[in-house]
Amino acid sequence: MFERLEMAPPDAILGLTAAFREDPNPRKINLGVGVYQDSQGRTPVLPSVEAAEQRVLQAGPIEGYLPIDGLPEYAALVQALVFGADHPVIREKRVVTSHTPGGTGALRVAADFIQTQLPGAKLWLSEPTWVNHGSIFEAAGIETATYPYYDAAAHGLAFEALTSALRKVPAGDVVLLHGCCHNPTGVDPAQDQWQQLSDICGQAGWLPFFDFAYHGLGDGLEEDAAAVRGFAVPGRDMLVASSFSKNFGLYCQRVGALSLVAATSEAAKAAQSHVKRSIRANYSNPPAHGARLVVAVLSDPELRARWERDVKDIRDRINTMRKLFVDTLQARGITQDFSFIQNQKGMFSFSGLTKDQVDTLRKDYGIYIVGSGRINVAGMTAANMDYLCEAIARVL
Ligand code: LMR
């Protein structure tokens, strides 16, 4: 039965990592997948997480399975991190949170929930968006559509086109928004623009669904959460998919969360019962270890403070690399203006490099960049910057 099958195409992002590993070029650079690397090009265990791990190991293993939606203390800490401890959705018990395997797990659980509980709802994605979004929602049987987001000529937000499209999204459809550090463009709405988008959401009646995978990597933990918090106005339903891959460096532990906000506490409880059915039918219950690390960090004031410094270090290094990248390109005599890269937020830079240029960089220089021209700035170091900019100068 399987003999008729042909090879599926490699994954647009993780497929690059596989190809990178096999590349014998000693100068190769991986700027593909969104994984943080330090100034030595290594993906570190964050000091706060390392300390938390000692405590978790001392506490010993958990017996049996976790609850379907994970540890209650994890849910409470995630809610406080995302919404702020005093937010009305927490005080009024209108938010329910499930621990999911990574942000991708949260997106898929939400997709199954939407498909079964909001049948016929279309899901709207920004153009462009993370390449896996379409696959996740389509795999769950949800029809997707796109709204304009990026102004390629201005290297910025296409705000007029965006607002005009979101005004026309039918009530009851779902709009996926990136909470901060838009992937792949690095272009986020400003605070007043978020406010306008929230007003449009209220008038049009669509369901906001935030993918919040880079919390803390933009302007700061509080600043980056402002859009999500501002959208959670009284009476509004909402979904938030969190990932702790990047801000805790817990990539392979698969730690994420799906938070669902409802207009009342009863509605939130009922909705959560359906989310739990989706989880049970999907992976049954979540893995414990990564969530225990997050709990250990966020519940201890000392480790929490250390973690906030760790996140700041990541953010600062990325921003330093953005500047060095722009300066080095300039120093190479490249006349094309790349200064916009310094205004983009988070791990990625939408470089404007074409598919052909990206292919040449990979084949001739061993530099791995996602086909859309998205560059992981966190893969740049002072040591590889000259080689990278020299290669870019040549393909340009
Ligand atoms: C990325 O966009 O590179 C990350 O979110 C990792 C992934 O799973 O694609």
Q: Tell me how far the alpha carbon of residue 35 lies from the centroid of ligand 1, in angstroms.
A: 8
Q: Check pocket membership of 290 for ligand 1, CB cut-off 6 A.
A: no
Q: Tell me how far the alpha carbon of residue 334 lies from the centroid of ligand 1, in angstroms.
A: 29
pLDDT at 21: 94
Q: Whose CA is nearest to atom 1 of ligand 1?
A: 34
How many other CB atoms sit within 10 Å of the CB of residue 212?
A: 26
Q: Tell me how far the alpha carbon of residue 13 lies from the centroid of ligand 1, in angstroms.
A: 7
Catalytic residues: 130, 211, 246
Query: How long is the chain?
Result: 396
**Candidates 11, 36, 132, 372: which one to mutate for ligand 1, based on the most atoms within 8 Å of Cβ?**
132
**Candidates 11, 13, 185: which one to mutate for ligand 1, based on the most atoms within 8 Å of Cβ?**
13
Q: Check pocket membership of 13 for ligand 1, CB cut-off 6 A.
A: yes
pLDDT band at 335 (very low <50, low <70, confident <90, very high): confident
Q: Tell me how far the alpha carbon of residue 183 lies from the centroid of ligand 1, in angstroms.
A: 9
Q: Whose CA is nearest to atom 6 of ligand 1?
A: 34
Sequence-distant (6+) residues with CB within 8 A of 161 are 148, 151
Q: Tell me how far the alpha carbon of residue 126 lies from the centroid of ligand 1, in angstroms.
A: 16
Structure tokens at 237: 């339903």
Q: Check pocket membership of 33 for ligand 1, CB cut-off 6 A.
A: yes
Structure tokens at 21: 């590993």
Mean pLDDT within 219-232: 97
Positive/negative CA dihedral, 370, 350, 29, 246: negative
Q: Tell me how far the alpha carbon of residue 132 lies from the centroid of ligand 1, in angstroms.
A: 8
Q: Check pocket membership of 378 for ligand 1, CB cut-off 6 A.
A: no
Q: Tell me how far the alpha carbon of residue 377 lies from the centroid of ligand 1, in angstroms.
A: 13
> Would the pLDDT of 125 be above 90?
yes
Q: Check pocket membership of 181 for ligand 1, CB cut-off 6 A.
A: no
Looking at the chain, the number of H-run helices and the number of E-run strands are: 15, 13
pLDDT digits (tens, 9 = 90+) for 186-219: 999 999 999 999 999 999 999 999 999 999 999 9
pLDDT digits (tens, 9 = 90+) for 38-51: 999 999 999 999 99
Q: Which domains does the chain carry?
A: 14-45+308-395 (3.90.1150.10), 65-299 (3.40.640.10)
pLDDT at 355: 93
pLDDT band at 352 (very low <50, low <70, confident <90, very high): confident
Mean pLDDT of the chain: 96
CB-based contacts of 161-167 (< 8 A; 24+ apart in sequence): 162/197, 163/196, 163/197, 163/200, 166/124, 166/197, 166/200, 166/201, 166/204, 166/206, 167/200, 167/203, 167/204
Structure tokens at 88: 């009305």
Q: Where are the beta strands (DSSP E) in 308-362?
A: 348-350
As a whole number of angstroms, the distance between CA 44 and CA 144 comes to 37
Q: Whose CA is nearest to atom 9 of ligand 1?
A: 13
The Cα angle at residue 236 between residues 231 and 238, in degrees rounded to 5: 70
Give the DSSP H or E segment for 133. helix 131-139
> Would the pLDDT of 348 be above 90?
yes
pLDDT digits (tens, 9 = 90+) for 286-300: 999 999 999 999 999
pLDDT band at 337 (very low <50, low <70, confident <90, very high): confident
Q: Whose CA is nearest to atom 2 of ligand 1?
A: 34
Q: Whose CA is nearest to atom 4 of ligand 1?
A: 34
The pairing of beta strand 150-151 with beta strand 144-148: unpaired
Sequence-distant (6+) residues with CB within 8 A of 208 are 175, 177, 198, 201, 231, 236, 238, 239
As a whole number of angstroms, the distance between CA 246 and CA 214 comes to 6
pLDDT at 269: 98
Contact between residue 108 and residue 137 where contact means Cβ atoms under 8 Å apart: no
Amino acid identity for residue 96 in this structure: V
Atom number, ligand 1, closest to the C-alpha of residue 184: 2
Q: Check pocket membership of 34 for ligand 1, CB cut-off 6 A.
A: yes
Q: Check pocket membership of 31 for ligand 1, CB cut-off 6 A.
A: no
> Would the pLDDT of 238 be above 90?
yes
